[in-house]
Structure 1
Amino acid sequence: MTFPQTPLDVRVELGIGGAWTDVTADTYTRSPITITRGAADESSSLEPSTCELEFNNRLGKYSPRNPLSPYYGLIGRNTPVRVSVPGPESYLQVDGSATSYARTPDTAALDITGDLDLRIEATCDWNAVSGQALLGKWNSATNQRSYLLRIGAGNVYFNWSVAGTASIFVQRPLPGLPRRAALRATMDVNNGAGGYTVRFYWATSMAGPWTQIGDPVTVTPTTSIYSGTAPLEIAPQAVSGVPPMRGIVHRAEVRNGINGTLAADFDARARPAGSTGWTDSASRVWTLGAGAAVNDRAYRFVGEISSWPARWDVSGKDVYVTVEAAGTTRRLGQGKKALESTLRRRIPSAPSLLAYWPLEESDTADTLAYSPVAGVEPLQLSGVDWAGDDTLGGSAPLPTIKAGSTLSARVPATTVTGWQAEFVYYLPTLPAVQTEVLRLGITGATMRTVVLYASVSATRLEILDAEGALLGWFNLTTASSLSAFAGKWNRLAIYSGDYGGGTTLLTATWRDVTTNVRYYLSATAAGTAQGRVTTVSAAWDSLLEGMALGHLSVFSTPGTGAVGTPPTTLIYDGADDGFLGETALARINRLGGEEAATVDLAGRGSDAPALSTRLGPQRPDTLLALLEEIQDADGGILYERQDRPGLVYRDRKSLYNQPVALALNYNATGEVPPPLEPVEDDQRLRNDVTVTRDGGTSARSVVATGPMSVQPPPAGVGPYDEALTLSLYDDSQPAPIAQWRTHLGTWDEARYPTVTVWLHAAPHLINSILGMDIGDRLQISNPPPWLPPDTIDQHMLGYTEVLDQFGWTLSMNCTPARPWQVGVVEDSLLGRADTDGCTLTSGVTAGATSVAVTSSPGPRWITSSVFPAMFPFDVTVGGEVMRVTACTGTGLAQTFTVTRSVNGISKAHAAGTRLSLTQPMRAAL
């Protein structure tokens, strides 16, 4: 028998001693397990998931300080906990580690040298920035490279090798995929036109249908695939620079030829949980690494228990512990430490770094600037205004110099010759006469000093020996270069290079932080080695007063020695302007990589074919504040995972035109029990929105007419204004964002704060519910007659789930989905634009099939004689949906031939009643 005739198999596990321990037998059923996840009601703020549990503690097992407990010393603050129910099928769980894989040995059937077809169906983070190796026969370390399917940074890649040594690859941007999806790559090694062709596809499952990703990749000449000895692996382990995948694998196939013979047929769906190996339908023998497992559980909550309050009744016989576990957000929200500036976070990761001084001290600093690099003495900086400039996107406030300011710092000794010194600066104007900007002390070479000067007439680089005599120099007088040296934030690098013949090349280059344009000044010195930097110093007079500078560093990496080539170490790139212009998904993925030790963070969506919102600079702030800043600017949803501790950001575009994830029928038993209560309120009503770019311009959008406009009742609802400042890339963004927010804020439809499903009464919905996630779309057909007849169409923003032995209830917090149905060019439903106003010319009866309409101010409707293929389409008049089968008339006054009562409503309508497209095209943001 199955649920609900038999008890629901709810499993509760605690992470004890590094392993999951089943404690279901100690979990009381008298208090149902209650899980909350996502947003409550229509709140847009990130809220921790919670899980309420009660443990039987008669034996003191769940008292952390009880020495008689078998868990003594193993449970306490932030003990991991997870709750699961039976899933619809088994799957392979891989965790990205070196022992987490499925493998079958090399065999002749897998040594495919001609046409190839690779397929995999998985549930994973498709846009993981670090990349993931999915399926392949590949070992970089032993030069046994054959074929490989992988993803990374929003792209899908197919790699192959002709000889096993060098890797060839092609790629295409990934579209926004659902959590569970199938990827496919086909290789035609000889396309008959003197070349090869690679195609990529995706589908919701390996059953298809397959949708091609981008155009085919066709290259000449023909190619072949190396017949290597590496095993075939799911989550390949030996791919240089690409970690193995992390997630769930359902199926995978390797085919000899496009749509050809199965060479491998991995299918975990019917394998018993705990299986460690089997033989597939193509006679491949699969074994699992120790870190991989076949599982059949669907996880409803993964979190941490932060406290263990022991309780008992007066008799002392009923002893229990009631806990509320919480998700990752609770722990992240406890600390208030801001992440450091992007430069401060990025520069110390350079492997060649010798010394680094951020100079981000507060305005109360004296003369010392610390270094985050171990063994580096503080820098001496006197006579400056500390924290005097806060205009560089990639930095906290930096000092500005005054007349008489001095700088001196010592660089740790190194045996490596060749070097690079770099810093960021803002010089308001060039000095009238030649003025020293920076001085470097050198050892291990004839040259002992390198000095950079600047003036309105030239930038000058001098190379001096121990006596102060010139070994080499150069003046750069180009007007464009001089102009670029001042009046903007620049990054200045000075570096050495071997010029050949015992001559050293010294280069100074400044790079505009915003435009990335680089300018060069080079000088040569004969008879000297490159040496090593030992000191950095400067003594500034009034001519450089007001110059801001910071993030001074020295690296043990020389340049190429060729004139006009950039420095070797480019660690400042992107971080100098705070990653200005980075997309919302790219920032999520970058932060996920940088903060991997703190939180498991992933993006859901795609920057192809359209980008997610481009952001302003990332300034120092807490991680949660930075994540919410991304959410606010892009308009997506940030929420906690349910399969493992971590966060997911779902970008705005992934909410557009979604397929229906859960289809409910009001008349079906248990599918939509009470309460189903539409709410007509003003909780999210906004008809006057002003958006300001942080540090830039503002734009305002006002809905001036219509039932949700700023007009006083009864013409409108009166003003509901909102003003917000967002982290945006440029001043073109506030206007469309303000318009989009008024579009959402004036959508004239009831919301359904709670849609409940009784899964014990409707168990056929369990698989659909298990496949849903935050932001997914649900519909309710056949609503009761006292509600509007249209299908109820909503997005799920969060839910409360109650699990009991014989009960399973899901109460979903919802918001209307229709405002997220956006225009698609040439789509028969979503590609139609409405008129700017249309009304009935005269009244119509309940049964009339000929309807006179007048468009004002226009444009008029298309006619069926000119555009027959564009008919029929639906219009709404006074709550009734009519299907227009024909339209005549070439002026603003026209006549429709209609089918009535498409939505079950048929009634008379008065002249002047508004008529509009039932599904008008709305331009996406």
Structure 2
Amino acid sequence: MMTRSSKSCGTQFGCAAVTCSSCLRARGIGVAVAFPEDPLGLRAELLLAGVWTDITPDLYTREPVQITHGTASEGAQPDPASCSLLLNNKSGRYSPRNPSSPYFGLLGRNTPCRVSIPGGEAYLDLDGTPAAYARTPDAAPLDITGDIDIRVEATADWNAAGSHALIGKWISATAQRSYLLRLADGLLILNWSPDGASTYLAQQPLPALPPRAALRATLDVDNGSSGFTAVLWWAPTMDGPWEVIGAPMPVSPATTIYAGTAPLDLAPSTATGVAPIVGRVHRAEVRAGIGGQVVAAPDFRSLADGASGMTDSTGRVWTLGPAAEVTHRQGIFHGEVAEWPPRWSASEQDAWVPVQAAGILRRLGQGRRPLQSTLRRRIPSAPGLLAYWPMEDGEGATQLYSPIDGVQPMKATGLDLAADDTLPGSAALPTLGDAATLSARVPAAPGPGWHAEMVYRLPTMPGLQTEILRVTVTGAPARTVHVFASTSGIRLEARDSTGDPLAFAVYSDPAALTDFVGVWNRLAIFVSDTGTGTRLVCSWRDIADGKWWYVTTSYTGAMGSVTAVTGSWTSGGTQGMTIGHLSVVAVPGTGTTPASTIYNGADRAFARETAVSRLVRLATEEPSLVMSTMDGDATTLSEQMGPQGQAELMTLVSEVVETDGGILYERMDRLGLVYRDRATLYNQRPAITLDYAAGQIAPPLEPVDDDAELRNDVTVTRSGGSSGRAVVESGPLSVLPPEQGGVGVYEEAVTLSLGTDDQPARIAGWRAHLGTWDEARYPTVRIRLHRHPDLIPAVLALRPGDLLRITNPPQFTGPGPLDLLVRQIQHQPLPRTWEVTLSCTPAGPYRIGVMDDPVLSRADTDGSAVSGDFTATATLIRVATPTGPVWTQDLAELPVDIQAGGEVMTVTDIVGVRGDRFDRSVTNGWGMATSGQTWTTTGGAASDYSVQGG
């Protein structure tokens, strides 16, 4: 017998094959897999010299690609998204300091990295720059002058700050305005022009939308009642069903649309003050008439990657801007590589780099200084600003600096610096001594008109007339303007070049004088043009409640401009007065109304702004915070916040998440964060449904029933305010001791940034509601996408906070369906396998009551119980309702779902009063119930903060 000789490798594997991959790994020799042959199409890329460079062929597979984002726990802050890659570095190309590497000088700290998978369809990718658009030339069918119907299906941040154009024929600069559909700060807006110059609009607040949705606007230019009617709509896709947003908006008189020469653009950039949309456009339509003839229909879903244009079904030819891209790839990670640690085997036959890329949270959370006060951050952005002195300098300062280039420091004497820190929008400010002075020079203004403003707190009104502030003016008959205060009144006075009064007025209303002292105020002095002269105005505004007063006078002559602001206090009547944030802007007012409102909100540190508004504002102010928001129904505002403190950026973001109870997570398609407020978690439709019996979930599916998140005695305190407490005193998770049917006391005490003292009790109730929800969490829901590729589109669309429904679960988990909120998503793609693991918590607490809703307005019973045994197939059961309101017998309010003995049943008829007979249909055939068992309805709780229970 002949044998073939082979040399054994001699390792612990006992393998005789010279090329055994296990042996090679044991000897430190890497085994690379050609990912381009991967049927799943995974691709890893680095942004090098501004170009996305494919590094997929250099991926080792001896350690899997591991991608994680979100957080597994209820209410916890997310860790940075992570992606682990192992790169073949035998050639040294991933050694940053290797001069022979083709990437020499391109690999550094925070090199952008992305990983993607082919999606089910292509889309038009737009980055929001003017060069990212799709365009078709003007043509007669597009020149619609009558009724119009515009539709766009896109994936976008619907609540992005600012105005963003979706589609339109609109060029502002040349008065070629026809029609434009756009978004603006959470509004959907249809603009049109009857003449190319003037503009009409219809707008409505957007409801809570999924990331991918369709928007629509219809305009009936002549509704038959001497007017026009605009209607705005949304739908999951352009296939419908369409839901009206708000209500139709009839207006008189009838209108028309200008037949301009502008091209039809997707993401137009030619509307003044409107930026192109950032996101993905899937398809769009323009119709002549409501539901009428389609005259343009760009559809990118079936195009090839890299397509430069298309001809749509109407014959319109579309070309793409240089920054627009057609692609079908879906991002599953987008982050940065902070380090490139080279590693090699002892034999030097293998070399590799273990890359640990991270999302933007890692960088945002490192080495950041606290943000400055809200006034200090806001005032330098004032239009027309000439000079600004925050006066937040430390107690050892000898002059008060200006953050504005070219503005000299303020000279001051007799000030007790950093003495008063009670203004929410400021760091500590100086108070005046018995004798104090200040002198601040103002650079030349570009033209006439001015406005000077500061914050102050005067303890008591001086008995004698005392100067509060003086403004020096040039180019006007008035050379100085003075504000005096005394118990006799507030005097505003203009003096000429000789120092004589030119004009003056005294305001002595007792309420106005009371409001001038004892509280934080803003003092503003400004001018306006009367047409024949100059109006001079002094106003003071209570920072806490916004109430304001003013005194005004006028003189003949020009408004002039400011050269200096000074103060000299020697009488003692102003001792202890706090002053700060002095600014001068070169803008006149209008009548008695100031043109500059830059202090608004910032003076009280934006107290009582909503959580979503705070995040949008922070993202606008801080370029590093790339933030998108998902806002719930406009009728359910996110929680009001307290004053914004001087903390690190991510501390402020975390305050918002903790207060509002929403979910913060990192985007996986581009670098940035997403916050979805709590209302977006309410009453969701399933984003994905998985059938356990059909094998769509890989075992094991293991529920966790522990007390890790159990809280039944919750105290919430408003920072700087009052407290509220909620205690769950009955039920299986109540504070009752175990021998009495509860679990004992599980306490929680938190201090939150809240806007009012009405909030702590409500939020304590909500947190107790979450903490005593009696369902299991599921930290591991595994999906093998290589075995179920039909699930890939739905899984790729999943985001933290989405609702996952599991049907036909095993009997060991309890009855189904199981409704879960996705908290964390993990991808583990390999050349021929792709496993996704979801970490989930119960969605039940977020199914809340909605007034007048046919299902969600139904409240739970107050103590009904089964009064006799019944089987799994019985269609009639008897119940007892000894206390509380009886069950409805109105057939119009039936059917209703209930759960008893582990079974969800649909009640089709109810007969009786206290002893009721329920006719039912079996909906899941779970099992039998015994006499005395209670149940819950599945239609929702009575309010956001009440605990559901039978």
Q: Is the structural similarity TM-score above 0.5?
A: yes
Q: Does 1:704 align with 2:729?
A: yes
Q: Does 1:916 align with 2:946?
A: no
Take 1:184 and 1:114, find their aligned partners in 2: how far apart are those partners?
Answer: 17
8 Å contact kept, 1:758–1:808: yes
Q: Does 1:550 align with 2:584?
A: no
| 2:778 alignment partner, SS class | coil
Alpha carbons of structure 1 residues 920 and 258: separation in structure 2 relative to 1, 3 Å: closer
Give the aligned partner of residue 489 of structure 1. 520
**What does 1:369-448 align with in structure 2 at a 5 Å threshold?**
369-448=400-479
Between 821-830 and 709-718, report the one with greater CA deviation: 821-830
Matching residue's letter, 1:801: H
Give the aligned partner of residue 781 of structure 2. 755
Take 1:388 and 1:435, find their aligned partners in 2: how far apart are those partners?
Answer: 22
Give the aligned partner of residue 16 of structure 1. 48
Give the aligned partner of residue 635 of structure 2. 609
Structure 1 residue runs of 5 or longer lacking an equivalent are: none
Q: Does 1:658 align with 2:679?
A: no
Matching residue's letter, 2:917: F
Give the aligned partner of residue 535 of structure 1. 565
| 2:795 alignment partner, SS class | helix
Take 1:394 and 1:145, find their aligned partners in 2: how far apart are those partners?
Answer: 42
**What does 1:882-901 align with in structure 2 at a 5 Å threshold?**
882-890=905-913, 893-899=914-920
Matching residue's letter, 1:338: P
Deviation digits for residues 78-137 of structure 1 (CA, Å, limit 9, x no counterpart): 111100011110000111111110000001111111111110000011111112100000
| Superposition deviation, residue 527 in structure 1 | 5.8
| 1:199 alignment partner, SS class | strand
8 Å contact kept, 2:159–2:630: yes
Give the aligned partner of residue 554 of structure 2. 524
8 Å contact kept, 2:815–2:903: no
Q: Does 1:146 align with 2:174?
A: no
8 Å contact kept, 1:42–1:813: no
Alpha carbons of structure 1 residues 778 and 534: separation in structure 2 relative to 1, 3 Å: same
Give the aligned partner of residue 388 of structure 2. 356
1:871 to 894, 898, 915: 894
Give the aligned partner of residue 194 of structure 1. 226
Give the aligned partner of residue 699 of structure 2. 674
Matching residue's letter, 1:181: A
**What does 1:638-653 align with in structure 2 at a 5 Å threshold?**
638-653=664-679
| Superposition deviation, residue 675 in structure 1 | 2.5
Between 418-427 and 403-412, report the one with greater CA deviation: 403-412
Alpha carbons of structure 1 residues 465 and 186: separation in structure 2 relative to 1, 3 Å: same
8 Å contact kept, 1:352–1:557: yes
Matching residue's letter, 2:613: A
Matching residue's letter, 2:574: L
| Superposition deviation, residue 380 in structure 1 | 2.6
Take 1:882 and 1:540, find their aligned partners in 2: how far apart are those partners?
Answer: 83
Between 785-794 and 209-218, report the one with greater CA deviation: 785-794
Give the aligned partner of residue 132 of structure 2. 100
Matching residue's letter, 1:346: R
Take 2:627 and 2:899, find their aligned partners in 1: how far apart are those partners?
Answer: 44
Between 618-627 and 533-542, report the one with greater CA deviation: 533-542
Take 2:179 and 2:558, find their aligned partners in 1: how far apart are those partners?
Answer: 50
Matching residue's letter, 1:894: G
Q: Does 1:821 align with 2:847?
A: yes
Alpha carbons of structure 1 residues 394 and 328: separation in structure 2 relative to 1, 3 Å: same
8 Å contact kept, 1:885–1:896: no
Give the aligned partner of residue 167 of structure 2. 135
Q: Does 1:158 align with 2:190?
A: yes
8 Å contact kept, 1:509–1:566: no
8 Å contact kept, 2:72–2:840: no
Give the aligned partner of residue 506 of structure 1. 536
Matching residue's letter, 1:897: F
Take 1:181 and 1:849, find their aligned partners in 2: how far apart are those partners?
Answer: 42
Matching residue's letter, 1:914: T
| Superposition deviation, residue 848 in structure 1 | 6.5
| Superposition deviation, residue 576 in structure 1 | 1.7
2:398 to 367, 380, 403: 367
Q: Does 1:690 align with 2:721?
A: no
Take 2:633 and 2:517, find their aligned partners in 1: how far apart are those partners?
Answer: 35
8 Å contact kept, 1:850–1:895: no
Between 425-434 and 677-686, report the one with greater CA deviation: 425-434
8 Å contact kept, 1:127–1:606: no
| Superposition deviation, residue 723 in structure 1 | 1.2
| 1:187 alignment partner, SS class | strand
Q: Does 1:792 align with 2:812?
A: no
| Superposition deviation, residue 856 in structure 1 | 4.9
8 Å contact kept, 1:884–1:896: no
| Superposition deviation, residue 761 in structure 1 | 1.6
Take 1:532 and 1:286, find their aligned partners in 2: how far apart are those partners?
Answer: 55
**What does 1:116-131 align with in structure 2 at a 5 Å threshold?**
116-131=148-163
| Superposition deviation, residue 415 in structure 1 | 4.9
Take 2:289 and 2:645, find their aligned partners in 1: how far apart are those partners?
Answer: 52
Q: Does 1:626 align with 2:652?
A: yes
Take 1:920 and 1:182, find their aligned partners in 2: how far apart are those partners?
Answer: 28
Give the aligned partner of residue 233 of structure 1. 265
Deviation digits for residues 714-762 of structure 1 (CA, Å, limit 9, x no counterpart): 3211111111122222111111111111111100111111111111122
Give the aligned partner of residue 573 of structure 1. 600
| Superposition deviation, residue 850 in structure 1 | 5.3
Take 1:889 and 1:390, find their aligned partners in 2: how far apart are those partners?
Answer: 67
Take 1:189 and 1:336, find their aligned partners in 2: how far apart are those partners?
Answer: 54
Identity over aligned pairs, percent? 50
8 Å contact kept, 1:633–1:726: yes
| 1:83 alignment partner, SS class | strand
| Superposition deviation, residue 774 in structure 1 | 1.0
Count the aligned residue pairs. 910
| Superposition deviation, residue 43 in structure 1 | 5.8
Matching residue's letter, 2:105: G
Matching residue's letter, 2:256: S
| Superposition deviation, residue 381 in structure 1 | 3.2
Between 368-377 and 544-553, report the one with greater CA deviation: 544-553
CA RMSD of aligned residues (A): 2.0
| Superposition deviation, residue 904 in structure 1 | 2.7
8 Å contact kept, 1:416–1:532: no
Matching residue's letter, 2:577: M
Take 1:915 and 1:881, find their aligned partners in 2: how far apart are those partners?
Answer: 10
Take 1:113 and 1:668, find their aligned partners in 2: how far apart are those partners?
Answer: 54
Alpha carbons of structure 1 residues 678 and 413: separation in structure 2 relative to 1, 3 Å: same
| Superposition deviation, residue 847 in structure 1 | 7.1
Q: Does 1:593 align with 2:653?
A: no
| 2:511 alignment partner, SS class | helix
Take 1:415 and 1:783, find their aligned partners in 2: how far apart are those partners?
Answer: 73
8 Å contact kept, 1:706–1:716: yes
Take 2:908 and 2:219, find their aligned partners in 1: how far apart are those partners?
Answer: 47
Deviation digits for residues 475-504 of structure 1 (CA, Å, limit 9, x no counterpart): 101122112212322211001233454x43
| Superposition deviation, residue 577 in structure 1 | 1.6
Give the aligned partner of residue 860 of structure 1. 886
Alpha carbons of structure 1 residues 839 and 547: separation in structure 2 relative to 1, 3 Å: farther
Give the aligned partner of residue 858 of structure 2. 832
Q: TM-score, normalised by structure 1?
A: 0.95
| 1:267 alignment partner, SS class | coil
**What does 1:284-303 align with in structure 2 at a 5 Å threshold?**
284-303=316-335
Matching residue's letter, 1:642: M
Give the aligned partner of residue 783 of structure 1. 809
| Superposition deviation, residue 684 in structure 1 | 1.1
Give the aligned partner of residue 325 of structure 1. 357
| Superposition deviation, residue 510 in structure 1 | 1.1
Between 339-348 and 325-334, report the one with greater CA deviation: 339-348
Take 1:907 and 1:118, find their aligned partners in 2: how far apart are those partners?
Answer: 54
Q: TM-score, normalised by structure 2?
A: 0.93
8 Å contact kept, 1:390–1:398: yes
Give the aligned partner of residue 57 of structure 1. 89
8 Å contact kept, 2:901–2:929: no
Matching residue's letter, 1:291: A
